[in-house]
Structure 1
Amino acid sequence: MGSVLKKIRNVLNTKSGFFVLVLFCFWLKTYLTYQTKFNLGVSGSVQQILLMLNPLPIGILLFGIALYFRGRKSYWIMMIVSLLESMWLFANILYYREFSDFLSLGIIKSSGSVSNNLGLSIVEIIHPTDFLVFLDVIILGLLLVFKVIKVDRRRIRIRSAVLVSTLAVVLFGVNLSASEKNRPQLLTRTFDNNYIVKYLGINFYAGYNAYQTYKESSTRANASSSDLNEVLNYLKTNRAAANVSYYGKAKGKNVFIFHLESFQQFLINYKVNGQEVTPNVNKFYSDSNTLSFDNFFNQVGQGKTSDAETMLENSLFGLPSGSVMTSYGTSNTFQALPAMLDQKGYSTAAFHGDVGSFWNRNNTYKSWGYQYFFNDDYYKQKTNYSVGYGLKDKIFLKQATQYLEQLPQPFYAKLITVTNHYPYELDKENQSIQKTTTGDSTVDGYVQTAHYLDQAFGEFISYLKKSGLYDNSMIVVYGDHYGISNNHKKAIAQLLGKSSISSYDLAMFQKVPFMIHSNGLKGGVNHTYGGEIDVMPTLMDLLGLKNTDTIQLGNDLLSENRNQTVAFRNGDFVSPTYSKIGSKVYDSNGQVASNLTTEQKKSVDGMQARTNKVLSLSDKIVTGDLLRFYTPSGFKKVDKRQYSYKYSDGIKLLKKQQQTSKSSLIQQKGGHSTTDLFTTDAPELK
């Protein structure tokens, strides 16, 4: 036994032996991380072999750099590479646990805009076993420090180092070829990062994503007006005509966009121990003057809430990685709904109880034509007023009324709630419903914060009725994205009352509420398939705004002959007939459609082609800043310099508009404030 250990130690005391040891540790922890920390959807022996293989090519290449150096320097390089790899794995483990996706350069670049208030989330996300990715670095470091493994100062021949690098390239070629055979057009068609990691590895994904980000940034410099021809040609044949029964029904009315954070459709009429989770939203949903859509899907990517806002107010998708608002919100030209309404005589304002820099809103909203942005600088703050990402909803909405009542009418007002945000924690005095009992700590608190949001929504609707705004407004209510990610399959199955769930079930779980209320509007539940990309054209038609030459990739949800293919950011799609999730096609009953006829296959291929087309066109518009080359008739390019969201400037503008316009709510009330009409049971305000 002793002689065996001595031989092993002698091998490890050589540079090549240490190289193999470091490489093995890197491969093992990466493979175990794939299997235990990510949900890559590996199936079949080929994919299992590729999953085992894919850490090696890039690993050999990176660690092999050390072989070109002699002495301690080569060992330092191997240890630094190992540490950086561990940090990259660790960061992705945390990010994936919350967002079911991998870190991208776009997300890292925007971290300064979105990282505030993440401390609580990170504490909730971390598991003790996550730190095991650093174990090999610590052990190997100690073995070197205490000279259990000695540094081999001999130089490895350059030819040997070159052979190692060549081996890495050959292995990657084998990896890529086998991957392409198992998943054709892996890098040209897929929008799902899970596929890239599953087949080619997390390190390749990092490099590929960096290349994609660079390509996007260079696209703008090389873009020209001729690039719009493809977009305009597509819109000529794919724009749905307005429904004459609804066109202009809300013309001249105030518009409220009420943002239900992380709110999913399954919450509608959902009960816990016989108690409704969202009674106020339920009542609003079933109102005779509310148009409710029960097949409305969130279509967000990595940008989450920012993607939802981008789609709602621009009818453009988010990016494959990162966020439109953080990457392009400051510099790009937009033709957003707030700007269009501003130019039609509307006051436009966004309300949010967090810092203005979150998701780069303080710059993006200027590009979108918002006259006002009432961020956290405008509200009274106390320690117990906030949770996670800003003011608690009841406190936020109560304070927002002081600015809402001063806006000249008609106005467009977007109110963004935050309390129903991951990690779904609420202080005991605000809890008024029991948790679910799935055993998943992330999921079980979700109904408590959703119930709190529902109460805040009920208080806000009550205020609108008391103040008189309810009768003269179109109130749009929507959920921005999922609250429970697909990583929580067991808990989701319990919530839905199923023994197990399929990929199709998870796709259907991406439904979020979308409701439009206006007095005199013929309501009811509309079963058309649609998503957030379709909101802007729907609202424009209801408001009677000319919408025949705008660049929008969505279609009016009320149009009688609209295409009902709903594109997801990862390239999947759903529709009333067929849905494609990953590599599988499902029929309308959620069953795998394995024996499609030629005609059916043609239909599915057409839906996939449409999905790919709208996603690629949206990316070209955004990354090339193509809207700078095109202006719809009657629209003026937004001058961002005319907007300032500083508290002093916002208050000054409100006072100025009070003098020039006599249409605000407070002026209609003879100068008497309506803030006391907002009643809340928030314990913090008692």
Structure 2
Amino acid sequence: MLGKPSYGIVMVNRRRLGRKTGLVNYLAQEWMAILTLAVLLFKSIVLMGFVYSPDKSVIDITRGFNNIRYMSVCVAFLIIIVSFNYLAKGKGRLWLLLILNFLCSFLYVFDAVYLRANGNFLSTQLLRQTGNVNNLWGSIFAMFRPCDIVFFIDIPILVAILIITRKMYYSSPLFTSMKTRLIAFGSLFAMSVAFIIGSYIVIDVYGNNKYAYIFHTYWKPEATICNASPLGYHLYDCYVFFADFRPYEISEKERTEIQKWIDDKKENLPDNSYKGMYQGKNLLVLQVESLENFVIGQSVNGQEITPILNKLLKNSIYFDNYYTQVNEGTSSDAELMTNTSVFPVRKGSTFFRFPYTEYNSLPKIMGKYGYSTKAIHPDDGAYWNWKEALTNMGFQQCIDSKSFKMDEIIFLGLSDGSYFRQIKDTIIQQKQPFYNFMITLTSHSPFEMPKEHQYLNLDSYLENTRLGGYFQSINYTDRYIGTFLDELDKAGILDNTVVAIYGDHDSVHKYFDDQIREIKPSQSWWLENDKKIPLILYEKGQTPQVIHTTGGQIDLMSTLLYSFGIEKSEYESTSFGRNLLNTQQDYVLLADGEFRGNIDKAKQKELLDGLEYADMAIKTNFFKK
């Protein structure tokens, strides 16, 4: 007959079981940390795959891996995040790792979305612009793609594992006390930070490659994130954001360099027949939401997409190689460049960050020559902070949504049809000569027009696509531009008015290029746009012309002032753009530092400095008298 096990045997077995359980618990929790680190590294590679893939909706692991320039630095940043799990105890460490994983995944997926929308990544500067989000959720959700699920696919699996094993593990005996956990956290954190600082000193401070930095803001956002890694980019961005609150100062050397860059751009050509061709006339500038160049003159199913704009071309100067140059401020950047001929700042929205910077602006110059000036928006003055910025820019009056009866709302705000109908009498009764700057709203992404305003009969393969919705949206706005101009013509206003029409930025190709390429059958004319927007200078009875010179929004102010007979001395020394009606240069510098047109490599390097100089000029109020 077997007796009961002795007390000593029981205690030995318990100690063995305790050691075994402790080891299991230790391995479980540390493997969760290692797994989280591996998963976040994989997600970093996926995000970089989006960045460097020609199609921002295709995961390219190879490109992603090859374009994290300093993989060890990337891992060090991720270890910093993972190290925070030691601040929790027992099972709480596992849940904290899950939460950290989720937060990083959330950041990465919105990086991917913002990248598709704006060619950039989320920035702390966007915190200053949160008021814009309220009516943009439709556009934001339209940027998600099915492949984005990869950033979250592991989360429910890990949640399920933690729930199933909730009674299996307790805590590792190595990290039960606060002291040991703080030592573990501090050690990992300090070693990672020390490695990053060491890498910074070796590469940034003492390195001899001017294109190899860990912490540096490049004009191409992908170059910045390539060096710092996705998480490093955001931590560096936070540093830049808070450093931004310090007063900006500019040395005399920098001031001289900025002015020299502007002055060296002058071509000093003799005047031609375009000089003063519109002198004394009214100027009406119409910035059309999301108007891309590829739709001009095109038809679907036998119907013109922009019949009114096509008709205007018969009496217009049409620039068919005109490009959008907006940065993170999107439409507000277009307003800035059109009215100041200064590039927007490199980070965030100029209108939010520096609304009180002074410029030698289009409204100021026109006002100096006796023009009454108005900026007219159908949206709230706080949207992109446009009213504050344009008022400071020199417009004598700014009219926003408070002056309109909001009787028909389509997506972002007041419909273009109602907007034009309500504002026409204000323009007809306005003191002349006038300069009015107007924008439209309805043709904004995600291009979901109400059925009653869909005037095109589209083929089934275009119905319910973003491209088909874009055609309907632009066709709607085009129709009401025509109605508006007809009313002005009946009142005699167009007899003495020049109407400048351009798009604020590319849109359907910018946001939904991957979906456009999936439409079958396709037509070649809608597959490419390459950031082109139309620029149309319409005058009643004018002989039509097409100008193929390559230019962009930064050039419009100088072009208009020249055609209105304003002496070059009034604007050439403050303009970052050039006059497209009298130039021998054929190029445009885009917001990401790329060029279009014909410009040699040596000249490109010199022109790229203009982006940095404009940034400095805005931050330091360079043009303040």
Aligned-pair CA distance for 1:184: 3.4
Q: Which residue of 2 aligns with 1:364?
A: 389
1:334 aligns with 2:354: no
Out of 482, 490, 504, the position equivalent to 1:480 is: 504
Out of 469, 486, 496, the position equivalent to 1:445 is: 469
1:311 aligns with 2:325: no
Q: Which residue of 2 aligns with 1:88?
A: 107
Mapped partners of 1:171, 1:123: distance in 2: 36
Q: Which residue of 2 aligns with 1:100?
A: 119
Contact in 2 for aligned 1:312/1:532 (Cα 8 Å): yes
Aligned-pair CA distance for 1:11: 5.8
1:209 aligns with 2:237: yes
Mapped partners of 2:289, 2:201: distance in 1: 40
Q: Which AA in structure 1 matches 2:410?
A: V
Contact in 2 for aligned 1:435/1:445 (Cα 8 Å): no
Aligned-pair CA distance for 1:18: 2.7
Aligned-pair CA distance for 1:369: 1.3
Q: Which AA in structure 2 matches 1:615?
A: L
Out of 351, 366, 370, the position equivalent to 2:376 is: 351
1:223 aligns with 2:250: yes
Q: Which residue of 2 aligns with 1:663?
A: none
Q: Which residue of 1 aligns with 2:603?
A: 606
Contact in 2 for aligned 1:438/1:444 (Cα 8 Å): yes
SS at match of 1:565: strand
Q: Which residue of 2 aligns with 1:646?
A: none
1:117 aligns with 2:145: no
SS at match of 2:358: coil
Q: Which residue of 2 aligns with 1:301?
A: 327
Q: Which AA in structure 2 matches 1:285?
A: L
Counterparts of residues 170-319 of structure 1 (less than 5 Å):
170=195, 184-185=211-212, 190-218=218-246, 220-223=247-250, 227-241=254-268, 243-287=271-315, 290-319=316-345
Mapped partners of 1:374, 1:171: distance in 2: 51
Residues 370-413 of structure 1: CA distance to partner in whole angstroms, max 9, x if unpaired? Answer: 1222211111123xx11121211111100011322232111111
Residues 489-519 of structure 1: CA distance to partner in whole angstroms, max 9, x if unpaired? Answer: 4555579844998xxxx6x621110011235
Deviates more, 1:127-136 or 1:547-556: 127-136
- Given the superposition, is the C-alpha separation of residues 465 and 500 from structure 1 closer, same or farther in structure 2, using an over 3 Å criterion? closer
Mapped partners of 1:138, 1:172: distance in 2: 36
Mapped partners of 2:301, 2:265: distance in 1: 47
Contact in 2 for aligned 1:261/1:479 (Cα 8 Å): yes
SS at match of 2:446: coil
Mapped partners of 1:46, 1:392: distance in 2: 43
Contact in 1 for aligned 2:448/2:469 (Cα 8 Å): yes
Q: Which residue of 1 aligns with 2:575?
A: 552
SS at match of 1:403: helix
Counterparts of residues 394-413 of structure 1 (less than 5 Å):
394-413=417-436
Residues 203-256 of structure 1: CA distance to partner in whole angstroms, max 9, x if unpaired? Answer: 1221232334445543x4323566432222222221234733122221221110
Q: Which residue of 1 aligns with 2:410?
A: 387
SS at match of 1:377: helix
Contact in 2 for aligned 1:223/1:624 (Cα 8 Å): yes
Unaligned runs of 5+ in 1: 1-5, 579-602, 632-686
TM-score (norm 1): 0.76
1:48 aligns with 2:59: no
Deviates more, 1:552-561 or 1:331-340: 331-340
Q: Which residue of 2 aligns with 1:24?
A: 38
Out of 558, 563, 567, the position equivalent to 1:542 is: 563
Mapped partners of 1:116, 1:157: distance in 2: 42
Q: Which residue of 2 aligns with 1:586?
A: none
Contact in 1 for aligned 2:428/2:488 (Cα 8 Å): no
Mapped partners of 1:159, 1:150: distance in 2: 18
SS at match of 1:258: strand
Q: Which AA in structure 2 matches 1:448?
A: Q
- Given the superposition, is the C-alpha separation of residues 14 and 164 from structure 1 closer, same or farther in structure 2, using an over 3 Å criterion? farther
Contact in 1 for aligned 2:306/2:478 (Cα 8 Å): yes
1:417 aligns with 2:411: no
Q: Which residue of 2 aligns with 1:151?
A: 171
Contact in 1 for aligned 2:53/2:60 (Cα 8 Å): no
Contact in 2 for aligned 1:240/1:556 (Cα 8 Å): no
Unaligned runs of 5+ in 2: 1-19
Aligned CA-pair RMSD: 3.6
Mapped partners of 1:55, 1:49: distance in 2: 13
Mapped partners of 2:203, 2:62: distance in 1: 12
Residues 267-317 of structure 1: CA distance to partner in whole angstroms, max 9, x if unpaired? Answer: 111111221111110111232xx1111111111111111111111000011
Q: Which residue of 2 aligns with 1:678?
A: none
1:514 aligns with 2:532: no
Aligned-pair CA distance for 1:126: 4.2
Q: Which AA in structure 2 matches 1:406?
A: Q
SS at match of 2:508: coil
Residues 346-383 of structure 1: CA distance to partner in whole angstroms, max 9, x if unpaired? Answer: 1111222111111101211111111222211111123x
Mapped partners of 1:183, 1:443: distance in 2: 42
Mapped partners of 2:31, 2:61: distance in 1: 34
SS at match of 1:342: helix
Larger Rg: 2
- Given the superposition, is the C-alpha separation of residues 440 and 400 from structure 1 closer, same or farther in structure 2, using an over 3 Å criterion? same
Contact in 2 for aligned 1:50/1:175 (Cα 8 Å): no
Deviates more, 1:294-303 or 1:337-346: 337-346
Aligned-pair CA distance for 1:465: 1.4
Contact in 2 for aligned 1:291/1:526 (Cα 8 Å): yes
Q: Which residue of 2 aligns with 1:648?
A: none
How many aligned positions are there?
585
Aligned-pair CA distance for 1:125: 3.7
- Given the superposition, is the C-alpha separation of residues 90 and 396 from structure 1 closer, same or farther in structure 2, using an over 3 Å criterion? same
Counterparts of residues 489-500 of structure 1 (less than 5 Å):
489-492=513-516, 497-498=523-524
TM-score (norm 2): 0.83
Residues 65-114 of structure 1: CA distance to partner in whole angstroms, max 9, x if unpaired? Answer: 444776577556544433321331233233234333211122232222x2
Aligned-pair CA distance for 1:557: 0.6
Contact in 2 for aligned 1:565/1:607 (Cα 8 Å): no
Q: Which residue of 2 aligns with 1:3?
A: none
- Given the superposition, is the C-alpha separation of residues 170 and 468 from structure 1 closer, same or farther in structure 2, using an over 3 Å criterion? same
Deviates more, 1:56-65 or 1:531-540: 56-65
1:572 aligns with 2:597: no
1:617 aligns with 2:613: yes
Contact in 1 for aligned 2:305/2:474 (Cα 8 Å): yes
- Given the superposition, is the C-alpha separation of residues 148 and 344 from structure 1 closer, same or farther in structure 2, using an over 3 Å criterion? farther
Residues 570-627 of structure 1: CA distance to partner in whole angstroms, max 9, x if unpaired? Answer: 111112x35xxxxxxxxxxxxxxxxxxxxxxxx32322331x1211111111122212
Aligned-pair CA distance for 1:169: 5.6
Mapped partners of 1:369, 1:499: distance in 2: 40
Q: Which AA in structure 2 matches 1:546?
A: E
SS at match of 2:502: strand
Contact in 1 for aligned 2:26/2:171 (Cα 8 Å): no
Aligned-pair CA distance for 1:23: 1.8
